[in-house]
Structure 1
Amino acid sequence: MKTLLGAATVATFTFGLAAEAMAEEWNVSLWGKRRAFTEHVEKLAELVAEKTGGEFTLNISYGGLSKNTENLDGISIGAFEMAQFCAGYHRDKNPSITVLELPFLGVSSLEEERKISQAVYQHPAVQDDLARWNATLLMPSPLPQYNVVGVGDAPHTLDDFAGFPVRATGGIGVAMAAIGAVPTSMSASEVRQALDSGVVKGVSFAPHAHMSFGTIETGEWWTTNLNPGTVNCPVVVNTDALDGLSDAHREALLGSVDEALDYYIDYYNSNTMERWGPALDERGIERVTFTAEELAAFEAAAAGPAAAAWIDENSARGLPAQELYDLVTGMIGQ
C-alpha cells in the first residue's frame, strides 16, 4: 500500500511539474489605456487563453513595461515578448514599413489597410528589416485617415496652415510640411498637454485617439476631409520567444490573428465611428471641410514628392523601395 501511495504521489508531483512546464506567459507592452486601437491585442489574448485552456496567457501592460517609442528596442533585447509601436516613431529603425505611411496613398477602408499591410509584412525585405531587432511582424493595427483637431482660428484654405504648429508623425508630417505647416513628432500621451499649453495648435490623429487622448476636450475645430494619410502601427513578437513556443501554443497564437483583426475592424467601425459625430456635437466642435480644389492642390504638393523622396532614400539604404511602393499602390482599389 505504501508503495502504491508513493508511486501515486510521485506521479501526481511529476504531472504537476509537467503542467507547470507547459504553462506560458508573455508580457505585452502597449501604452495609453485600453481603446479601439488595442482591441485586437485584447481579443488575441482572450482567444489564446481559450484555445490553450489557460496554459498560454498574454499579460497586457499599458505603459508599465516601456515607453511606446522604445517598444521595438524592448523587443530586440527580450525585455518582453510582444509589443505594439508605430513606424513613424522611429523611421530609421523600420524604414521598410514606412511605405505604408506615405501621404495620399488612397487607401479607402480599414479592410483595405489590413490587406495591404499584411502583404507588405510578408515581403522578405520587410521581414529582414525587422529581423535586425529580433522582431517578427504579427499583425497590423488598421487605422482610418487622420484629420486635425485644433484650437484658435479654423483653417479654411491650405494657406491658413502656413506656420501652423501641428503634431503629425511619419508621412502625415511630411504632407503637412508641404503646405507650410510646422509638424512635430511626439508621443500620443504628450499631445493633450502640448495642445493645452500652446506648443502645438493642432493634432493629427484618427478619431479613436482624439477621444482617448482628450484633444476634443480642448479642440475647437476638426478637419473632416483633409485625409493626408494614416500611420502604420504593427504588433510584433520577439522572434526567439516565438520560436520557443510549443507547436500547440504557436498555432494558438498565429491561428488567432485573423479572428482578432476581424473583431478589431468590426469594433472600430461599429463603436468608434458611431460615437465620433455625437462627441463632436456635444462639445460644439466646428467641422471644417475643404473644397475639392484645395484637396487636389494638397495632394499635388505632397504625394508625388514624398513618394519620390522615400524611394530614393530607401533605395540608398539597400531596400527594394520601388518594389515595395509598387506593391502597395498596386493593391489599392483591388
Structure 2
Amino acid sequence: MKKYLSYTAVAALSLAFAGEAMATEWNVSVWGKRRAFTEHVEKIAELVSAKTNGEFTMNISYGGLSNEKENLDGISIGAFEMAQFCAGYHADKNPSLTVMELPFLGVETLEQETALAQALYAHPAVQADLARWNATLLMPTPMPQYNFVGAGDVPDSPEDFKGMSVRALGGIGTAMQAIGAVPTSMSATEVRQSMDSGVVKAVSFAPHAHMSFGTIESATWWTANLNPGTVNCPVVANTDALNALSDAEREALLGSVDEALAHYIDYYENETMKAWGPALEERGITSVSFDQASLDAFKEAAAGPAAQSWIEENSARGLPAQELYEFVTSKLTEIKGGS
C-alpha cells in the first residue's frame, strides 16, 4: 500500500511539473507607470489570461526590463517577448513608422489614428522594416494631437516659439524648427527634470503624458489648438516568441487586439480627457488658442517641407518613401470619408 501511494505521489508531482512547464509566460517591457498610454497593454494581458484559463500570462514591467529607448533592441535579441516603444525615439531604427509622425497629416480622432496605423502596419515595407528587429507589430497606441505646456511668457502666436528650447519628437520637432524653435528629443521619463531645470521651456505631449510625467506641475500655459502632430508608439512582439505560441494562444492574443484598443479609446476619452480640464484649472494654467490665420501659416511653413524632406531622406535609405507617404495620405482620406 505504501509503495502504491509513493508511485501515485510521484505521478501527481510529475503531472504538476508538466502542467507548469506547459504554461506560457511573456515578459512585457513598458515604462513610466500605468496610465492611458498603457491601458491596451494591460487589457490585452487580462483578455489573454482569461481566454486561456491562465495558461498564457503576461508580466508587465514598467521600466524594470529596459530603458524605453532600448525596447526595440530588447525585442530583437529576445530579452523579452513584448514591448511598447515610440518611433520618434529612434527614427533610424524604424524609419517606415515615422511617416505617421509627419506634421499636419490631418488625423482628427483616436479612431482615425487607430485605423490609419493598423493599415500602415500591414504594409509589406513596414513589416520588412520591423522584421530587421525580429519584431511583429501587434497594435498601435493611438494618441490625440500633441500640444505644448510651458513656463514663462504666454505665446500669443506660433511665431513666439522662435528661439525657444522645446521637447519635441519626430515630425513635431521638424514642424517647430520651421517656425524657429529649438527642438530636442528626450524620452518621457527625462522631461520633468529638464523642464524644471530650464533645459527646455516647453514640452509637447498628449494630455495623459502631461499629467503622468508631471509637466503641468511647473507649467503656466498650454497650447489648446497648435496640434502639430503626434507620435507613433506601437506594441510589438518578438517574432520567434509569437511563432512559438500554440494556435490557441496565438488566437487568444491576436483575437484580443480589437477589444484592447476599444478599451483604450474608451478609457482615454472618458477618463483621461475628463480629468484634463480640471487638472489645468486647479493649477491656474492659461489655455492658449491661436487664431486660424496663424495656424494656417504654421501649417504652410511646416507640412510640405517636412513631408518632402522625409521622402528624400528615407528614399536614400532604400525605403519606398513616396509610396508610403501616398499610402498614408490616401488611406486617411478614405478613412475620413467613411467616418
What's the TM-score, normalizing by structure 2? 0.96
Structure 2 residue 29 is matched with structure 1 residue 43: no
CA distance in 2 between partners of 1:86 and 1:31 (Å): 11
Counterpart residue number, 1:34 = 34
Secondary structure of the residue aligned to 2:287 is strand
CA RMSD of aligned residues (A): 1.3
Structure 1: which amino acid aligns with 2:104? F
Point out where structure 1 has 5 or more consecutive residues left out of the alignment: none
Give, in whole Å, the separation in 2 of the partners of 1:159 and 1:173. Answer: 15
Q: Give the whole-Å Cα distance in 2 for the aligned partners of 1:52 and 1:15.
A: 19
Instruction: Give the alignment of 1:163-242 within 5 angstroms.
Output: 163-242=163-242
Deviation at 1:39, TM superposition (A): 0.3
C-alpha deviation, 1:160, in angstroms = 0.8
Distance, in Å, in 2 between the alignment partners of 1:23 and 1:213 is 36
Deviation at 1:182, TM superposition (A): 0.2
Inter-partner Cα distance in structure 1 for 2:277 and 2:9: 64
The residue aligned with 2:129 is 129
Q: What is the SS of the residue equivalent to 1:103?
A: coil
Match of 1:297 in 2: 297
1:83 lines up with 2:83 in the alignment: yes
Shift of 1:41: 0.3
Return structure 1 stretches of 4+ with deviation > 3 angstroms.
1-11
Q: Deviations over 1:232-271 (max 9, x none)?
A: 0000111111111111111111111111000000000001
> Which residue of structure 2 aligns with residue 322 of structure 1?
322
1:266 paired residue number = 266
Distance 1:28 1:207 in 2: 24
Give, in whole Å, the separation in 2 of the partners of 1:145 and 1:257.
23
Letter in 1 for 2:183: P
How far 1:8 sits from its partner (Å)?
Answer: 4.2
Deviations 1:198-241 (A, max 9, x none): 10000000000000010111000000000000000000111111
Q: CA deviation at 1:12?
A: 2.6
Runs of 5+ unmatched residues, structure 2: none
Report what 2:288 is aligned to: 288
Match of 1:111 in 2: 111
**AA partner of residue 313 (structure 1):** E
* Partner of residue 92, structure 1: 92
Match of 1:21 in 2: 21
- What is the letter of the counterpart of residue 15 of structure 1? L
Moved more, 108-117 or 6-15: 6-15
Q: What is the one-letter code of the residue matched to 2:226?
A: L
**Aligned-pair CA distance for 1:281:** 0.7
Instruction: Give 3-state SS (helix, strand or coil) of 1:33's partner.
Output: coil
Supply the AA of the counterpart residue of 1:150: G
Distance 1:250 1:19 in 2: 19
Aligned counterpart, 1:63: 63
Larger displacement relative to structure 2 (315-324 or 295-304): 315-324
Select between 170-179 and 322-331 the one with higher mean Cα deviation.
Answer: 322-331
Letter in 2 for 1:63: G
Q: Distance in 2 between matches of 1:159 and 1:261?
A: 37
Report the Cα offset of residue 2 of structure 1. 6.9
1:276 aligns with 2:272: no
- For 1:281 and 1:211, locate their aligned partners in 2 and report how far apart those are by CA, in whole Å: 13
Q: Deviations over 1:131-185 (max 9, x none)?
A: 1011111110000000000000011122211101000001000000000000000
